[in-house]
Amino acid sequence: MSSAEGPVVFDPSDYGAIPTSRALRQWMRTTRRRHADRSFGQIFEDVYLVLFTLAMVGATGGNVVHHLNTNAARCTSFTCGELSHWMPWIVVPLLLATTIRVLLSVGPVSASQATGFWLLATPVNRASLLRPTYRLVMVVAAVIGFLASMVVWALLGTQFFGVVEAAALMAALLVCTAAVTVWVQQTAQRSRWALRVADLLLVAAVIPAVLLAAQPNSRPKAGMTTTTAVMYTDVVDDYGFGTALIDQPAHTLLPVLFGVLIVFCIALVVVTSRSLDKLTRTSVIAGGELLAGLAGAASSLDISMLADVVAGRHWRLKGRAHTRRGHGSRGGALVHREFVRILRWPRRLVIGFALLVVPYAVAGAGFDALVPVAAGFAGFGAVRPLMDGLRSVCRSTGLVRALGMDLRELRVIMAVVPGLFAILWAALASPAIGSAPATFAVAAGMLAGAVRQASARPPSYSGPLVSSPMGAIPPGLFSQPMRGFDLLLVCLAPVLLGISSTWVLAIPAFVLAVMFAVRPKTD
């Protein structure tokens, strides 16, 4: 036993049975309640606000989806038939690949660094400590799987029970996937294999998208009803994978399949739950750090910062890279360095070029009017990740000082390589987009938008704040997520409105000129 005056004396007999995680959590709850600075009424108000918002968004979104579902169900065109046939083969592997990648990047079982040190490093049962997080992961996977597939199948015009069944199946499938990723998290080797599987699933999703994109030459003119389309809507029945179910009546096969999947899913969740003590502290904390960073970025509605957090983690994990000597001087040296830097993460380039399938798939599905918009957004997604250099410069006045150039000048230099990529990308998408002026508008829009988003300042809480029902917020907080997309839409507007080619060229050119002429704001 120790006395308050003397030094701490270590006596092993002072330490007895290790408490349960439940007892420890209860102690933390009680202790934290003593510091609580919000009354129950205030907490209730917040909860009410969140529930009310969810109800409003759910009702509005549900109504929109219901409306689109009704329209899609009435559609018997060749295009609708094509979409009903191909979309499930794209959506299912895409959802699985995304789930594996996202879950493995955050853990999926994660904890803060503080929890890692003060709780997970103690002899308290680790599986028990991590079980609440594990359950949360399973619930989130189920909800996302259910909602995402419900929306997709509803948009394909599937009937109500078909939508619910497909959503429930997908939710069960994602829960199984989540449970498997928890098992995968236990060793680095398993994680590497799982990422390869995710890549294969991504390829599996791209193949039907490419086949859909290759349709234009063979399809009848848009709007034409064909017997094939009628066959598809009948055969696809409620699930999209109709062709696989032709020989078997769907309503006898599906409950059996669903029952088996549910039993397997429950067994998998229980077995994995019992193996949580095999997770290392390091693997659990790494995801927690990423989630904390993402939560910080999300609270400021800053998409660029979200990308920063992900990129920062990638480079931290990579740790080392082969040093390559620079070439040239001043601006030329920076352009060369940007080129080398971009090549250092080739996956981004691969994904960027893979996104070319989007405009072709949209064109292949027959939605010609939407091709420039789809190309613009896909191109934005392809080129934006290449702008980390510009992002670093715009976020660090010290770096700008060290480079000895004006920030306006640096913005132009840093945009050279991504700009060349944007031109190449748009040129490759040109056959789907159609005309040369529209292709120019797409290239200009994706570049201007990506540069504007990458050079955005974070919202500043140190300046004047605006009063809102959510408390004081910096001006421009809510416009933050739109930053970049606004310029993209301005550039695409003349194409969408179908005005003359002169304006289709002039407006994006003007937007680019003004954007590069203006000096970005800094803190």
Which residue ranges make up the site for another protein (CB under 8 A)? 1-8, 10, 12, 14-19, 24, 27-28, 31-32, 35, 112-114, 116-119, 121-126, 188, 277-282, 285, 319-320
For another protein, the closer CB: 52 or 118: 118
| Nearest in space to 286 (alpha carbons), one of 66, 113, 34 | 113
Q: Is there a contact between 472 and 406 (Cβ–Cβ < 8 Å)?
A: no
CB 301, CB 483: distance < 8 Å? no
Query: Which CB, 148 or 286, lies closer to another protein?
Result: 286
Minimum separation from the CB atom of position 19 to another protein (A): 6
Quote the least distance from Cβ 178 to another protein, whole Å: 21
Task: Tell me the C-alpha distance between 114 and 480, whole Å.
Answer: 31
Beta-carbon count within 10 A of 170 CB = 25
Query: How far is 482 from 456, CA to CA, in rounded Å?
Result: 11
Instruction: Please state, in angstroms and rounded to a whole number, the distance separating the CA atoms of residues 330 and 62.
Output: 55
Min separation Cβ 518 and another protein, Å: 39
CB-based burial label for 361 (10 Å; 0-12, 13-18, 19+): buried
Closest listed residue to residue 174, CA positions, set 201, 142, 200, 213: 142
- Nearest approach, Cβ of residue 327 and another protein (Å): 25
The smaller minimum CB distance to another protein, of residues 116 and 376, is found at 116
Q: How far is the CB of 114 from another protein (least distance, A)?
A: 4
Toward another protein, which CB reaches closer, 126 or 384?
126
Instruction: Kindly state the smallest distance separating residue 13's Cβ from another protein, in Å.
Output: 9
What is the spatial distance between Cα 299 and Cα 157, in angstroms, rounded to a whole number? Answer: 36
Nearer to another protein, 31 or 217 (CB): 31
Distance between CA atoms of residues 185 and 3, nearest Å: 45
The single-letter code of the amino acid at 96 is L
Pick the closer one to another protein by CB: 22 or 330: 22
Measured from the CB atom, is 29 or 221 closer to another protein?
A: 29
Cα separation, 147 vs 155, in Å, equals 12
Residue whose CB is less far from another protein, 219 or 341 = 341
Q: Three-class SS of residue 107? A: coil
* CB 485, min distance to another protein, A: 35
Please state the closest distance from residue 3 (CB atom) to another protein, in A: 6
Exposure of 53 by Cβ count < 10 A (0-12 exposed, 13-18 middle, 19+ buried)? Answer: exposed
Which DSSP category does 112 fall into?
A: -
Smallest gap from Cβ 299 to another protein, in A, equals 15
CB nearer to another protein: pick between 184 and 303: 184
CB of 48 to another protein, least distance (A): 24
Whose tokens are 């799982």? That residue is: 194
Cis-peptide, bond into residue 108, ω within 30° of zero: yes
C-alpha 487/C-alpha 479 separation (Å) is 13
In the bound state with another protein, the residue whose beta carbon lies nearer, of 124 and 210, is 124
At 172, list the tokens: 């069960």
Nearest distance from residue 40's CB to another protein, in Å? 17
Q: How far is the CB of 406 from another protein (least distance, A)?
A: 36
| AA identity, residue 320 | R
Residue holding tokens 């018997």?
A: 76
Between residues 16 and 463, which has the closer beta carbon with respect to another protein?
16
Q: Which is nearer to another protein, 4 or 517 (CB)?
A: 4
Tokens of 335: 């352009």
Residues forming a β-bridge with 467: 472
| Measured CA angle at 315 (ends 484, 138), to 5 deg | 80
Give dist(CA 507, CA 445) in Å, integer: 10
Check: CB of residue 471 under 8 Å from CB of residue 421. Answer: no
